[in-house]
Structure 1
Amino acid sequence: MIGTLRTVFALACVALLTLAMALPQWLCVTTGLCRGRRLLRLWHRTTARLLGLRIRVFGNLAHGRPLLIASNHVSWIDIVVLAAVADVCFIAKSEMARWPVFGWFSRMQRSVYVERDRRGKSGRQASEIAARLAEGDVMVLFAEGTTGDGNQILPFKTTLFGAASMMLSAGNHEEMWIQPVALAYTRLQGLPMGRQHRGIAAWVGDEDLVPHLATVLREGALDVEVHFGEAVPFTAKSSRKDVARQVEGRVREMLHAALADPAPRK
């Protein structure tokens, strides 16, 4: 009963918050007068609290620009977490545009949607990402191409790393940066989360959004760690496959370290 009441209350608060911010954020994006980043950060931070997320950040967003973040992917929760701690835009699967609430905010956050199963569009999608990087937007790439179980890192897909090469080939920049980021779900209701319980946070396969959202709200109090690694330089001479493997290795190291020794609660 308590879990149901908490779920209803949290969803009602998120809906009211969204309604309050909808018009000013829409005006910012459609008129181009502003990016609406402060509104988005407030929405994500407030939503994170309502969902019961406790976010711990280690390291910092790299200062170098253009900047592409390459992160592991566990759940739709990742989007709320990363947008709550940094001004970023997302490279998201096309289905996300149709999600309730989160889909609308992803559009207002100027996400780039990709159809991963349609290889014929990969060039155009990479070109759009390259243009956004050149404009100074920090783009987040969930480089596994799908969600994992939160315990292991899946091999990184190298296709969209091609956006880095494409941006440099335009001639406006001689160098850019790719920063590895690891997202680790470490505690549930204050207790260390084992492999079997990490599935509460993980959103794997074809599971519907709303039932998983209800599960997260019912359980409550999830601790998630965001680890920013050292950014890797990328130039016209760099191999996207080699850089992808290097970044993948750093994300894997940070994730395993975080899961083996979760940060103590404060």
Structure 2
Amino acid sequence: MAILRAFALLLTIARLLAAAAFARRNGRPAAMRRSDACARLAAALGVRVSVEGEAAGAPALLAANHVSWIDVLALRALADFRFLAKSEVGRWPLIGRAARLRGTVFVERARKRSIPPANAAMAERLAQGRLMLMFPQGTTTDALAPPRFLSSHFGCGRDFLVRKENAPYLFVQPVAIFYDSPVAPWLGEAALAPHLWRVLRDGPMTCHIRFGEPFALERGFDRKAAAREAARRVGAMLGELRAAHARPAQAGAAGAPTHAGKAPLAPEGA
């Protein structure tokens, strides 16, 4: 079955690339919306996306927990988000170019000096009326423990409110992501290709995404308090998603410490 899924995934990628190349050669718009393309890729992986609630109206800053590289596919299948990503993603073949074309903001994970320009770029996307989504944990985790959000990039809200003098506030929307498969988390220094194979081999899984109630950042807000509030709300939603959708092995591990993955987007003290 994994081989069949791998073949379906390669075929889907080939068709999408061929459609995009044909559109470029003929000066036409893309043959399908990028959200549709991401939905097809997720389906080819055997990932079903289940959604509760809906994304806030733009502009808004969305703060989600981060489980896997699959998160971006699942989210992009739902709305035209702009993402904050580590700078390494910009150097990935195909994916990096696609991310740049879609207005992704890149930040160097270990350099505090990269935070202000990244926040300014995020504020610019927001001022353009976009939905800006970030993963404030700065790392992937298995979603089995309450998240801890770094506050650095909530500072983009201040930059936005400076740019938009007539805007009294910026909405922040918490987003919870939970998979019903223990294979989905991409943790530690795991390479992408072996993890992709495990996803294909494990069989169908569901990515549960819940959009929470937005809260407002007013002028002069405390970014650390904003990060704590977003993390609290995401943690509460994750608890509900675990209770409703976890497989037995996951449910038994729900009280275990979280397992962190990649290096954070910004230093802990940022």
Q: Same fold (TM over 0.5)?
A: yes
Q: CA deviation at 1:37?
A: 11
1:128-147 mapped onto 2 (5 Å cutoff): 128-147=121-140
Cα deviation code 1:87-112 (max 9, x no counterpart): 21111111112224433322222211
- CA change 1:96–1:50 in 2 (3 A) is same
Q: 2:53 aligns with which of 44, 59, 72?
A: 59
Aligned match of 1:255 = 238
Distance in 2, Cα, partners of 1:210 & 1:165: 39
Q: 2:203 aligns with which of 217, 220, 225?
A: 220
Cα root mean square deviation, aligned: 2.5
Residue 75 of structure 1 aligns to which amino acid in structure 2? S
Aligned match of 1:12 = 11
Distance in 1, Cα, partners of 2:76 & 2:26: 20
Distance in 2, Cα, partners of 1:94 & 1:72: 19
1:108-187 mapped onto 2 (5 Å cutoff): 108-170=101-163, 171-186=165-180
Distance in 1, Cα, partners of 2:211 & 2:41: 22
Distance in 1, Cα, partners of 2:72 & 2:166: 30
- Given that 1:182 and 1:251 are in contact with CA atoms closer than 8 Å, whether structure 2 keeps it comes out as yes
With normalisation by structure 1, the TM-score equals: 0.85
Distance in 2, Cα, partners of 1:26 & 1:94: 30
- Given that 2:23 and 2:31 are in contact with CA atoms closer than 8 Å, whether structure 1 keeps it comes out as no
Q: CA deviation at 1:208?
A: 1.5
Q: Secondary structure at the match of 1:178?
A: strand
Gaps of 5+ in 1: 187-192
Q: CA deviation at 1:38?
A: 5.7
Cα deviation code 1:203-251 (max 9, x no counterpart): 1122111221121112221111110000011111321111111111000
Q: CA deviation at 1:12?
A: 3.1
Q: CA deviation at 1:124?
A: 1.0
Q: Secondary structure at the match of 1:4?
A: helix
Q: Secondary structure at the match of 1:18?
A: helix
- CA change 1:102–1:144 in 2 (3 A) is same
- Given that 2:5 and 2:46 are in contact with CA atoms closer than 8 Å, whether structure 1 keeps it comes out as no
Distance in 2, Cα, partners of 1:249 & 1:24: 45
Q: CA deviation at 1:4?
A: 2.3
Q: CA deviation at 1:27?
A: 10
Q: CA deviation at 1:172?
A: 4.7
- Given that 2:149 and 2:231 are in contact with CA atoms closer than 8 Å, whether structure 1 keeps it comes out as yes
Cα deviation code 1:24-62 (max 9, x no counterpart): 48999xxxx98x796211110111111111111101111
Aligned match of 1:189 = none
Cα deviation code 1:102-151 (max 9, x no counterpart): 33322222211111211012111111111111101101101100101232
- CA change 1:60–1:116 in 2 (3 A) is same
Distance in 2, Cα, partners of 1:76 & 1:259: 20
Residue 92 of structure 2 aligns to which amino acid in structure 1? W
Q: 1:98 aligns with which of 91, 109, 113?
A: 91
**Aligned residues: percent identity?**
36
Indicate yes or no: 2:70 matched with 1:77. Answer: yes
Q: CA deviation at 1:11?
A: 2.1
The aligned length equals 246
With normalisation by structure 2, the TM-score equals: 0.84
Deviates more, 1:94-103 or 1:211-220: 94-103
